[in-house]
Amino acid sequence: MEQRILYFDIVNGISGDMTLAALLNLGVPKELFLEEIKKLSMNDEFEIKISSKNESGIIGTNVDVITKETHAHRHLVDIFDIIDKSDLNENIKDMSKKNIYDYR
């Protein structure tokens, strides 16, 4: 499988919902995304709503992440635990954790 790298050149930051919308607009089917995100077994903590949006004639994707808990603090070890216990493909788990270390 060919590996591609995507760079974000963000001067003032970007929110998570904007990032998801941008990635979905690159061609990831929303059904596939939602199916994969369910593999994290965190469905009781949030809901994701994806819809088309037309703002002043500009059409795009709108992603709403609705959290069900008000204040959850997680450390890196907690995130790794979520990844390890998920039903994601082992290769995806390894890449996810590797990329976190590469970023640091």
Please check whether residues 21 and 55 belong to one and the same domain.
Answer: yes
Please check whether residues 14 and 32 belong to one and the same domain.
Answer: yes
* Cα distance between residue 100 and residue 35, in whole Å: 23
* Segment 18-29, tens digit of pLDDT: 899 988 988 889
Q: Which residues pair with 53 in a beta bridge?
A: 60
- Tokens for 103? 């970023």
* Segment 28-41, tens digit of pLDDT: 899 999 999 999 99
**Range of the structural domain that residue 85 is part of:** 73-104
17: in domain: yes
Please check whether residues 59 and 104 belong to one and the same domain.
Answer: no
68: pLDDT strictly greater than 90 = no
2: in domain: no
* Cα distance between residue 51 and residue 62, in whole Å: 5
Look up the pTM and report it: 0.73
**More confident call, 21 vs 102:** 21
88: pLDDT strictly greater than 60 = yes
DSSP character at residue 21: H
Which strand (E) or helix (H) includes residue 40? Answer: none
Please check whether residues 17 and 55 belong to one and the same domain.
Answer: yes
Q: Which residues pair with 48 in a beta bridge?
A: 65
DSSP character at residue 44: T
Q: How far is CA 40 from the centre of its chain?
A: 11
How many domains does the chain divide into? Answer: 2
3: in domain: no
